Amino acid sequence: MRAVSDKAPIEITNCHVHLFTGRHVPVNYPHWVLRPVKRFPWLAIPVAWLLAFFGFQEMSEKVKRLRQFQKETQSGNQREILDNVRRHYPDNTRFVVLPMDLSQIGHKPPLIGLRAQHDELAQLAADPEVGQTILPFAKIDPRADPEATELWRAINELRFRGIKIYPRLGYPPDHKVLMQHVYPEAERRGIPIMTHSSRGGVQGRGVRDFHADQFTDPAACIPVMRAFPKLRICLAHFGGQRDWAAYVNPERPSPYAEEHSRNWQVMIRRMITGETYPELWTDISYTLFNFEEYIPFLRLLLLREDREGDILRSRVLFGSDYYMTRQEVLSEKAVCFRLRNELGEEVFRQIAETNPQIWLGERPDPRQS
């Protein structure tokens, strides 16, 4: 690992965290049968045991992970969750906070709506003790905000730093509301966009997997990038765990496993290094929590000493997807330290400090000079 004793300590920016609580999620999500487990996470233990006893081992493991996830969402406010994630990082770390709007998911509305969620985040950003550590993004579901009124209130009045969309809920990234009322102004003002791009994640009720995948396919953003070539778009999760697993093990378990024939991780890499879309970015959130299996591949991709390696290094962002990662075995701190050790200080500084500053518009992009 190259010595960097002559440099200042790395100022990490985690570009992908969540602080929303259970009150921002519909009470019946993901299914009304699980409401008792959501309310009393300790119930997950006997439920998981019963599922394992009857042979549903995979479902049993999911319920166990749900227990830890629900314990986190039971926090009374977003400050409590922020305090939890900050324990894993140096004091000078910043966090891009991504809200969630689940009002259109097809279940009952959340107890707390998006506007109130935005307002609480703004109050947190103004807190003299922790405000300097968070960079709030504004969330929009175009079906809930057809004029993007709440979105631009959060940016113009609350001074939020970017925009988050989540097409897997049931809309394409080139939805007419986004194309007319969001992207043109975001491109003009240099406001970054974060979009979910993984075959997993939250899905709208009644949205079939096929259509959800269509909305989050990396290629779904091509019309957006062609129309707004200077818009800084990050495809979160670098393709997602299913596609990383397929990349690592190319043996097809089924002829219908599309992640083998159209691997999103490979697609994102080619889209970035092909230079047709110079403002396309990706982050490694959640995916890298399957650390031992994937880190050798990420290391080789980012440490390549050629043109493609140089371009890819300049467009990958560090992110974790906290608190979704509370479902996994490794802690935030463990993954961050292991990643730093595997990539080396120079490359880790690039993806965790330099690249986020460029993506957020805080420093000039040497690729555009």
**Three-state SS across the chain?**
CCCCCCCCCCCCEEEEECCCCHHHCCCCCCCHHHHHHHHCHHHHHHHHHHHHHCCCHHHHHHHHHHHHHHHHHCCCCHHHHHHHHHCCCCCCCEEEECCCCCCCCCCCCCCCCHHHHHHHHHHHHCCCCCHHHEEEEEECCCCCCCCCHHHHHHHHCCCCCEEEECHHHCCCCCCHHHHHHCHHHHHHHCCCEEEEEECCCCCCCCCCHHHHHHHHCHHHHHHHHHHCCCCCEEEEEEECHHHHHHHHCCCCCCCCCHHHHCCHHHHHHHHHHCCCCCCEEEECCCHHHCHHHHHHHHHHHHCCCCHHHHHHHCCEECCCCECHHHHCCCCHHHHHHHHHHHHCHHHHHHHHHHHHHHHCCCCCCHHHC
pLDDT the model gives residue 89: 94
When pLDDT is cut at 50, 70 and 90, the band that residue 33 belongs to is low
Statement: 13-21+77-368 belongs to CATH 2.60.40.10? no
Residue of 85, 101, 103 lying closest to 93 (CA atoms): 85
Using the predicted structure, report yes or no on whether residue 9 has a pLDDT greater than 70: yes
Spatial separation of the C-alpha atoms in residues 294 and 288, rounded to whole Å? 7
Name the least confident of 62-66, 102-106, 167-171, 174-178: 62-66
| Tens of pLDDT, residues 188-212 | 999 999 999 999 888 888 889 999 9
For tokens 């778009």, name the residue.
233
Enumerate residues 6+ apart whose C-beta is below 8 A from 283. 15, 16, 194, 234, 236, 237, 238, 316, 317, 318, 319
pTM of the model: 0.87
Cα of first residue to Cα of last residue in the chain, in angstroms, is 30
The pLDDT score that the predictor gives to residue 205 is 81
Answer whether 200's CB lies under 8 Å from 285's CB: no
pLDDT(64) > 80: no
Cα dihedral 323/232/8/294 (nearest 10): 50
pLDDT tens-place string over residues 210-233 = 999 999 999 999 999 999 999 999
Average pLDDT over residues 342-368: 95
Q: Is 60 exceeded by the pLDDT of residue 2?
A: no
Higher pLDDT among residues 23 and 189, named by residue = 189
What average pLDDT does the chain have?
Answer: 87
Q: Using 50, 70 and 90 to split pLDDT, how confident is the model at 55?
A: confident
The predicted-structure confidence for 108-148, as pLDDT tens digits, reads as follows 777 888 999 999 999 999 999 999 999 999 999 999 999 99
C-beta separation of 356 from 317 below 8 A: yes
> Among residues 206, 114, 207, which one has the least CA distance to residue 167?
207
What local confidence, expressed as pLDDT, does residue 140 receive?
98
Domain boundaries of the chain, sorted by first residue: 13-21+77-368, 30-74
What pLDDT shows up at residue 3? 43
List the structure tokens of 175. Answer: 């939805």
Q: How far apart are CA 52 and CA 328, in angstroms?
A: 19
Q: Which residues pair with 135 in a beta bridge?
A: 96
Provide the pLDDT confidence category of residue 73 given band limits of 50, 70 and 90.
low
Q: Is the model's pLDDT at 6 over the cut of 60?
A: no
pLDDT, tens digit (0-9, with 9 covering 90-100), for 302-340:
999 999 999 999 999 999 988 665 555 678 888 888 899
pLDDT in tens, 241-281: 899 999 999 888 777 789 988 999 999 999 999 989 999 99
Is residue 4 over pLDDT 60? no
